[in-house]
C-alpha cells in the first residue's frame, strides 16, 4: 500500500511539471511581430509602366506610351501623369502677402507681364487661390513665352511614380509654368485647371554607355494636357548653375559638358501624345539643389527659376533649314496639328 501512494505522488508531480513546461515555451506575443510598412510598395506592372497613372479617383487618365517600354528611348522620363485630387484646396497661408511653399504667388498688387517674361506685354496679378498668375491679362510678342518658378522638398524617382502614395510626396498643387502660346493666343494655366507640378529623376545612358541620372520638371493640369516639361542634361546638378534652352543639340554629344535643357509643350490629339511647342532660347537657373553635385534619386530638393524662355511650333523654330533640323530625340513626340 505504501508503494502505491509513493507511485501516485510521483505521477502527480510529473503531471504538474509537464503542464508548467508547456506554458513557459509559448512566450511569443503579437507585439513582437514587426509592423511592416507597405505604403510605398510598387508592383512589377506599376514599375514597368510608370506612364500609366494609378486610378485614385482623378479625372486625368493617360494612355500608356510605347516609348516608355522602348530601351532605345533612354531620354524618355516615363513620368506618370496622374494628378492628385486637390479640388477646393488652397495653399496654407494664401492671402498673407508672402509667397510660401505650395504657392506660386501671393499678392493683390498688379505686376507687369514683362517682369514674368520679356516676351510678354501688359499687366497681370496673382489668382485668388495663389496657384498662378492670371496670364489671360498678358499679350505675347513671340509664338510662345514662358516663365517658370518651381520648388519642391521632394524629388520623385521615376521608377516609383506608379505608387500614388509615393507620388503625392512630391506633387505640388500649383502651376510652376505660366505663359502664352499659339497663333491665336492661348494662356496657361487656365483658371481652376488643377495644375500639379513635380520633379522626377531617371536613368540616362550617355554617349559611351555610362549611366547617369537626369532631372525633369513637369506640370500637368487635371485633364492632363497641355503638359509642360523641362528635360535637363544628364549628370550632377550644382546650385547657381545656368542651363541654356536648346532645340537642336543632342545630349549624347555633350552630356554634362554643356549645360542644356529642353522645354516641350506636349498635347494630346486623336488619343496620341504629340508635341506642340519646343523651347528656342532662354535660361533656366538652379537656385538651389540638395544633395548638390550628386546623382539624384528619390528625396532631396530642387528650386529653379526661368523668366525668359521663348518657344515655337516645332517647324517654325527660327534658323531651321535643310541642314539644321530638330532631331527626333529632341522632339520625342510626333508633331501636333495646329
pLDDT in tens, 136-168: 889 888 999 999 999 999 999 999 999 999 999
Among 171, 134, 137, which Cα is nearest to 152's?
A: 171
Query: What percentage of the chain exceeds 70 in pLDDT?
Result: 72
Please tell me the predicted confidence (pLDDT) of residue 11. 56
Burial class of residue 182 (count of CB atoms within 10 Å of its CB; 0-12, 13-18, 19+): middle
* CA atoms of 118 and 311, how far apart (whole Å): 13
pLDDT in tens, 171-188: 999 999 999 999 989 999
pLDDT of residue 82: 47
Task: Name the nearest CA neighbour of 236 among 298, 155, 158, 290.
Answer: 290
> Dihedrals φ, ψ of 202, to 5°?
-150, 165
CA distance 302 to 269: 32
Rounded average pLDDT over 231-245: 94
Position 319 scores a pLDDT of 83
pLDDT at 249 over 70: yes
Q: Where are the alpha helices (DSSP H) in the chain?
A: 2-25, 44-48, 113-116, 164-167, 251-254, 328-331
pLDDT tens track for 72-104: 344 443 444 444 454 556 677 899 999 999 898
CA distance 271 to 149: 30
CA dist list (Å): 117 to 106, 154, 159 = 18, 27, 34
Distance (Å, whole) CA 259 – CA 240: 12
Residue 217: partners with Cβ closer than 8 Å, 6 or more residues away:
148, 150, 176, 197, 198, 199, 229, 230, 232, 302, 304
Confidence of residue 4 (pLDDT cuts 50, 70, 90): low
Whether 334 has a pLDDT exceeding 90, the answer reads yes
Over range 36-61, report the average pLDDT: 39
Strand-pair partners of 306: 148
> Which of 12-21, 36-45, 199-208 is predicted least confidently?
36-45
Amino acid at each position: 500500500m505504501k508503494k502505491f501512494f509513493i507511485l501516485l505522488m510521483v505521477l502527480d508531480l510529473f503531471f504538474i511539471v509537464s503542464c508548467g513546461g508547456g506554458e513557459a515555451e509559448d512566450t511569443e506575443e503579437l507585439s513582437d511581430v514587426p509592423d511592416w510598412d507597405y505604403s510605398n510598395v510598387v508592383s512589377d506592372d506599376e514599375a514597368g509602366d510608370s506612364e500609366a497613372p494609378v486610378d485614385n479617383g482623378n479625372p486625368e487618365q493617360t494612355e500608356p506610351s510605347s516609348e516608355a517600354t522602348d530601351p532605345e528611348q533612354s531620354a524618355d522620363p516615363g513620368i506618370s501623369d496622374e494628378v492628385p485630387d486637390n479640388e477646393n484646396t488652397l495653399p496654407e497661408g494664401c492671402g498673407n502677402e508672402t509667397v510660401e511653399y505650395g504657392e506660386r504667388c501671393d499678392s493683390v498688387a498688379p505686376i507687369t507681364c514683362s517682369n514674368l517674361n520679356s516676351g510678354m506685354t501688359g499687366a497681370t496679378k496673382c489668382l485668388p487661390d495663389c496657384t498662378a498668375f492670371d496670364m489671360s491679362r498678358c499679350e505675347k510678342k513671340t509664338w510662345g513665352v514662358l516663365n517658370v518658378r518651381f520648388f519642391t522638398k521632394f524629388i520623385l524617382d521615376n521608377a516609383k511614380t506608379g505608387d500614388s502614395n509615393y507620388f503625392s510626396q512630391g506633387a505640388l498643387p500649383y502651376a510652376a509654368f505660366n505663359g502664352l502660346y499659339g497663333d491665336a493666343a492661348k494662356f496657361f494655366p487656365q483658371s481652376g485647371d488643377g495644375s500639379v507640378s513635380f520633379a522626377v529623376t531617371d536613368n540616362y545612358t550617355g554617349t559611351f554607355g555610362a549611366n547617369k541620372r537626369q532631372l525633369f520638371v513637369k506640370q500637368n493640369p487635371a485633364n492632363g494636357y497641355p503638359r509642360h516639361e523641362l528635360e535637363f542634361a544628364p549628370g550632377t546638378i550644382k546650385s547657381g548653375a545656368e542651363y541654356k534652352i536648346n532645340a537642336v543639340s543632342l545630349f549624347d554629344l555633350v552630356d554634362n559638358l554643356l549645360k542644356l535643357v529642353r522645354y516641350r509643350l506636349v498635347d494630346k490629339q486623336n488619343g496620341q501624345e504629340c508635341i506642340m511647342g519646343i523651347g528656342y532660347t532662354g535660361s533656366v537657373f538652379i537656385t538651389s539643389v540638395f544633395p548638390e553635385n550628386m546623382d539624384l534619386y528619390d528625396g532631396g530638393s530642387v528650386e529653379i527659376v526661368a523668366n525668359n524662355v521663348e518657344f515655337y511650333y516645332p517647324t517654325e523654330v527660327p534658323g531651321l533649314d535643310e541642314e539644321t533640323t530638330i532631331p527626333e530625340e529632341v522632339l520625342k513626340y510626333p508633331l501636333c496639328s495646329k
